[in-house]
Structure 1
Amino acid sequence: MLCHRCHAECGDGVQCTSCRNYYDYPCAGITEAGYKKLGDRKATWKCGGCKAGAISPIQIKSNQSKTSTVDMETIHQELKKLTKQMSSLPQLVATVKTIQSDLEDLKTMKNEMSDFKESLNHVHVSIDDLVSRVAELDQEMQSLKNTRDDISRLERRMEKFEINMREMEQRSRSNNIEIKGVPVAASQNLYSIISKIGIVINCEISMSQINYIASVPQRGNKSNKNIIISLHNRYLRDEFISAAKRFKILTTKDLGLGGDGKIFINDHLTLENKQLLNKAKTLAKEKKFSYTWVKNCTIFVRKNITSPTFAIKTEKDLKKIF
């Protein structure tokens, strides 16, 4: 039913026994519980207007007419409002569709973000693996560096050891003299050759001063042999070699052996020092060094008479000097 005062639909209410209009409990000014407590007095309940006692049947009819007119105007206004509200419904629907589309986009973005997060996690794992591998490589590099350092130390020790061995071998020859260019027959007495050389260069050596004499084949030329003399006294060796240098050019003719082949008397160098001497002579010629000589089994070079003298013991010395 429709409330006479507020015109609202109500499921339950009260009816005025005078004007016969229906009212909901709030408009009737009574609660539902209070109305039920009236009992038999419900048959005499009147609305507030009827209680005033001044309403005639004509006034009631007039009021009902006015009420109907007001109700129509109210309904018309409500319809206008409803129509106005309905006019914005398409826009509202479009907005809702837009929101739904945005929600779909957000859902897609959420999925993409999830994929990106998974990819990023994979990248992090890959980076961790790479960092771990780099750390392993760094350890390997450090190990290789330590190994290289150990090898360098061993190489230096080996080089020093080889130098010491060469020096020891050369020192063992410190009393020796090497004579090249003397034709030696199988039956020839080597001491007689040494004695003849001593007479020619004016530095004779007695047999008691000789430790041993031997003929040694030349490297790469076994038909020609060098004579090696080992003396008991190094000073006698130096004197014999100096006398030969002063004689300038000694030939086989001077010894009565025929021919005019040159004879060379020098320190008895090791094979390594002989090779080092040849390299020194070659470089000295290229770099215009005027002097290259051997004294006490040590190689010396000098650019000119006023320049300093350099001793050469290893190939490193050649690199430093030339």
Structure 2
Amino acid sequence: MKCDNCNANFTDGVFCNGCKRNMDFSCASISEAGYRKLGPERRASWRCPTCKLASVSPKSTKAPEVAVVEPVTMEMVLSEIRCIKTQLSKLPELLEDVKSIKNEIIELKAACDFNSAKLENLDARVVDIENKVLHIQQSDLNYSNDIALLKRDNINREQWSRMNNVEIKGVPLKTAENLFNIVECIAKVVDYTFPRTQVNYIARVPTHGSKQKSIIVSFINRYIKEEFVAACRARKHITAKDIGFLEDNQLIYINDHLIPEFKKLLTKVKELTKQKGYQYVWVKFCKIHIRRNDKSPVQIISKEADLNKII
């Protein structure tokens, strides 16, 4: 668009209602912000400074227009009064609506205050419950620790009760067998004899996961038991044929009598030490011993947590 005053191109400007010309803001002598503030009606009737001066110039010969005032009649006055009365007739109804809205606002405020108090009470109860839960969790942790300690003590006591026992596996089962004779035959093979009076009891017991039954020998003297186990280990290989079972090369194993928990732990220790390159794993005094090599110190594994020692 071109300004009709300076012929310059512009994108936004004003339109004079007097001379019917489009002008930019500079030629119109008005700022863009000032023009925007005029509002739609005043902008529609806006006139440029030239047209404004022409309208008030004393050289104008045009006679001023004289407004024609119509006479005021009684009917006109009554009509206006009736109109006002009609509008005022709705005022009581509006007042009632205002009162109703005011009462609803009061009730809403009371409900908000009530709910706010309830929420504060609920927050306090939630905090109290959270504290109780934390206390219960701490108590459960303490109880769990206590139970673990009691369980550990019970395992140790049960294993301690077997300290004098030897478990013999691999001896074939036959009818009318004499377990004392079998144990004495093993003692002769390993070249370690002891009197029968040192045996507290001897019996066959089922083996978990197997149809075979182990022989449990309970010694009165623990040191004789340890010497007997050491002599058997020194022999390394003992077969059923060595103790009178002809043509039966089944291996016989003589070890400490471990409780199931320690047997499971021993299996894990053997697997882990094999992976880590340990050379020695053995049981003595019902305790699991490990040693990486001849120059390494001996370590004792007595619980699951001790598996971390195997590195």
TM-score, normalised with respect to structure 1:
0.60
Paired with 1:117 and 1:299, the residues of 2 have a C-alpha distance of 80
For the aligned residues, what is the CA RMSD? 2.9
1:229 aligned partner: 217
Structure 1 residues 2-151: aligned runs within 5 Å: 122-151=111-140
Matched, 1:252 2:240: yes
Tell me the CA shift for residue 195 of structure 1. 0.8
1:24 aligned partner: none
Paired with 1:113 and 1:286, the residues of 2 have a C-alpha distance of 83
1:266 aligned partner: 255
Which of 289, 295, 318 in structure 1 is aligned with 2:307?
318
Change (3 A) 1:126 1:308: farther
Segments of structure 1 that go 5 or more residues without pairing to the other structure are 1-106
2:229 aligned partner: 241
Segments of structure 2 that go 5 or more residues without pairing to the other structure are 1-94
| Equivalent position SS for 1:133 | helix
2:199 aligned partner: 210
Matched, 1:159 2:148: yes
Matched, 1:199 2:188: yes
Q: Deviations over 1:195-240 (max 9, x none)?
A: 1111110111221111111111211223x11111111100000100
2:267 aligned partner: 278
Q: Deviations over 1:250-300 (max 9, x none)?
A: 111221313211111100011111111112222222333332221100112
8 Å CA contact 2:204, 2:213 repeated in 1: yes
Change (3 A) 1:304 1:116: farther
8 Å CA contact 2:291, 2:297 repeated in 1: yes
Paired with 1:316 and 1:298, the residues of 2 have a C-alpha distance of 15
Paired with 1:239 and 1:229, the residues of 2 have a C-alpha distance of 14
| Equivalent position SS for 1:221 | coil
8 Å CA contact 1:173, 1:269 repeated in 2: yes
| Identical columns (%) | 35
Amino acid paired to 2:254: I
Paired with 1:304 and 1:124, the residues of 2 have a C-alpha distance of 78
Tell me the CA shift for residue 118 of structure 1. 6.8
1:178 aligned partner: 167
Change (3 A) 1:307 1:116: farther
Paired with 1:238 and 1:206, the residues of 2 have a C-alpha distance of 15
Q: Deviations over 1:76-135 (max 9, x none)?
A: xxxxxxxxxxxxxxxxxxxxxxxxxxxxxxx9x9x9999888766655543432232121
8 Å CA contact 2:159, 2:258 repeated in 1: yes
1:219 aligned partner: 208
Q: Which has the higher helix share?
A: 1
2:67 aligned partner: none
Change (3 A) 1:141 1:177: same
| Equivalent position SS for 2:117 | helix
8 Å CA contact 1:310, 1:321 repeated in 2: no
Matched, 1:189 2:173: no
Amino acid paired to 1:265: I
TM-score, normalised with respect to structure 2:
0.62
Paired with 1:264 and 1:241, the residues of 2 have a C-alpha distance of 10
Tell me the CA shift for residue 305 of structure 1. 3.3
8 Å CA contact 1:231, 1:237 repeated in 2: yes
Matched, 1:291 2:277: no
Q: Deviations over 1:126-171 (max 9, x none)?
A: 3432232121111111112222222222222211111111111111
